[in-house]
Amino acid sequence: GIQVEQSPPDLILQEGANSTLRCNFSDSVNNLQWFHQNPWGQLINLFYIPSGTKQNGRLSATTVATERYSLLYISSSQTTDSGVYFCAARNQAGTALIFGKGTTLSVSS
């Protein structure tokens, strides 16, 4: 099956800093999603982005499908951005999203 790798595993920032989270995947994908998991465990869907670029406020994401990676950008980070960010991907043969191990982001004031 598809392999999904995220980097860095941990990221510590000061409030106001920008950050880039990376997701590499091992196969062509028909689905790629970025999530933020809140302290109660709920997955908040940030982007559905199997290819291209999208922006939503301070967050944006880019997937370069031909090179098998996706990037999540967080600008002007806030303490409320803290938490775990997951990338998950599905290839043509798969039926379900497969998750990376996540990036734990800590933003301090």
Contact positions vs other proteins (CB under 8 A): 30-31, 33, 35, 40-43, 45, 48, 50, 86, 88, 90, 95-102
Output the CA angle 28-24-30, nearest 5 degrees. 30
Give the nearest distance from C-beta 96 to other proteins in angstroms: 5
Single out the residue of 65, 66, 61 nearest to residue 22, CA to CA.
61
CB nearer to other proteins: pick between 69 and 99: 99
CB nearer to other proteins: pick between 56 and 109: 56
Give the nearest distance from C-beta 16 to other proteins in angstroms: 28
**DSSP secondary structure letter of residue 57:** T
Please check whether residue 65 is in contact with residue 29, taking contact to mean a CB–CB distance below 8 angstroms. yes
Give the nearest distance from C-beta 17 to other proteins in angstroms: 24
CB nearer to other proteins: pick between 72 and 90: 90
Residue 103's CB is within 10 A of a number of other CB atoms, namely 21
Tokens of 33: 């999603």
Give the nearest distance from C-beta 99 to other proteins in angstroms: 5
